[in-house]
Amino acid sequence: MNKTNWLRGLCAAAAVLIGCGTAQAQNYPSKPVRLIVPFPAGGATDLFARTLSQKLSEKMGASLVVENRPGAGGTLGSDLAAKASPDGYTLLLSTSSTHSIGPNLNPRMPYDAVKDFTPISQVGNAPSIMLVPNSSPAKTVKEWIDYAKKNPGRLNYASSGNGTIVQLSAELFKAQADLFVVHIPYKGTALAIPDLVSGKVDVLFDSLPTGLPHVRDGRLRALGVTTLKPTALAPGVPPIADVLPGYESNTWFGLFGPKGLPPEVVSRVNTAANQVLQDPEVIDKLQRLGIEPVGGTPAQFSAMLAKESAKWKKIITERKITLE
């Protein structure tokens, strides 16, 4: 076979492979789709996945099987998804901890949060709430900032551990307000609540589902939410951004595929996800979890990811935050 015929044969084979790939993408999905959740069953991400899965299955025309692969703060399951075949039959529902925060805290992550994944759609945001004891002299965010400025180093904040969104929300608040407040890490915010109620702790940036009940019961005072605008998830609680312009801290949830996911598959899953996120039943269930449905295009999701990663990298670096 001469060189010309060899090249023609090679091109023909490539065309066949491309044609097969395109046909497979157009027929997608033709079998069950695995949705990896890199956190334990029963947690917020798992409940979110199960809320989406049934309706997403209906929209996509194939069953969506939720598979919990917890470990190493979400790293194990995310790595499994990153190394899966890019055919659309393994998807990942992950969060800011695995793709915005973790990579900036752990230089030895087994995957590249940008290069090893195909962003499909942001599906939700879970804001936090700024809580203080009822005994606190501050009734508003501005009053708390003024109080902290008058008592540098004498106030403290609780977190659920080093490098968590709870700590980072507080450090972002401190950075923007230029405050000196001492960090007290706990093994979960539930363990910090009694000390916050008693006044041993001065402030906590907690998730809405765990924090708001204490406000409703009159045990704690809510000063602000971490969204840019008022949210129906916390009626009557003003955004911290009203006092600190641009302040925002959310746990985001997003759908990913492995790198190299065909555009047709990305479009199919994205369209289905956006339709599901407009379903009143889904919206109601997510709100009960303290999550705002988001949606949008893959490009919008990618832009959000870049912005979030840069924000947390700056805070982690400047505040010298580590996992230790």
Contact call for residues 170 and 202 (beta carbons, < 8 A): no
Please check the confidence at residue 19 and state whether its pLDDT lies above 60.
no
DSSP string, 9-78: HHHHHHHHHHHHHHHHHHT--SS-EEEEESS-TTSHHHHHHHHHHHHHHHHHTS-EEEEE---GGGHHHH
Is the pLDDT reported for residue 181 higher than 70? yes
Tell whether 44 is covered by a domain. Answer: yes
- In terms of domains, do 104 and 135 share one? no
Which residue carries 């982690």 as its tokens? 316
Confidence of residue 215 (pLDDT cuts 50, 70, 90): very high
> Are residues 148 and 119 part of one domain?
no
Q: Give how many domains the chain has, as a whole number.
A: 2
Distances in whole angstroms, Cα of residue 113 to Cα of each of 99, 100, 294: 5, 8, 21
The whole-angstrom separation of Cα 89 and Cα 127 is 30
Asked whether residue 22 is domain-assigned, the answer is no
| pLDDT the model gives residue 146 | 98
Pick the last residue of a domain from 174, 208, 242. Answer: 242
User: HSE on the CB side for 23, CA within 13 Å?
Assistant: 6
> Would 13 be classed as within a structural domain?
no
Split at pLDDT 50, 70, 90, the class of 17 is: very low
Q: Is residue 157 part of a domain?
A: yes
CATH number at residue 43: 3.40.190.150
pLDDT tens digits along 25-73: 679 999 999 999 999 999 999 999 999 999 999 999 999 999 999 999 9
Residue 286 and residue 207 share a domain: no
104/310 Cα distance (integer angstroms): 9
E-strand spans in 226-303?
A: 250-258, 292-293
Instruction: Check residue 5 and give its pLDDT.
Output: 57
Same domain, 141 and 234: yes
- State the average pLDDT over residues 102-119: 96
The pair of structure tokens assigned to 145 is 């900032």
Q: Tell which of 242, 272, 296 closes a domain.
A: 242
Global pTM reads: 0.90
Tens of pLDDT, residue by residue over 244-290, are 999 999 999 999 999 999 999 999 999 999 999 999 999 999 999 99
Domain boundary among 242, 275, 300: 242
Residues 162 and 238 reside in one and the same domain: yes
Residue 4 domain-assigned (yes or no):
no
* 99 and 174 inside one domain: no
Mean pLDDT computed over every residue of the chain: 93
- Residues 52-69, buried b or exposed e (16+ Cβ, 10 A)? bbebbbebbebebebebb
On whether both 40 and 109 belong to a single domain, the answer is yes
For residue 45, the enclosing domain spans: 32-126+250-318
Q: What pLDDT, on the 0 to 100 scale, is given for residue 6?
A: 53
* 65, β-bridge pairs: 34
Question: Has residue 24 been placed in a domain?
Answer: no
Residue 10, pLDDT above cutoff 90: no
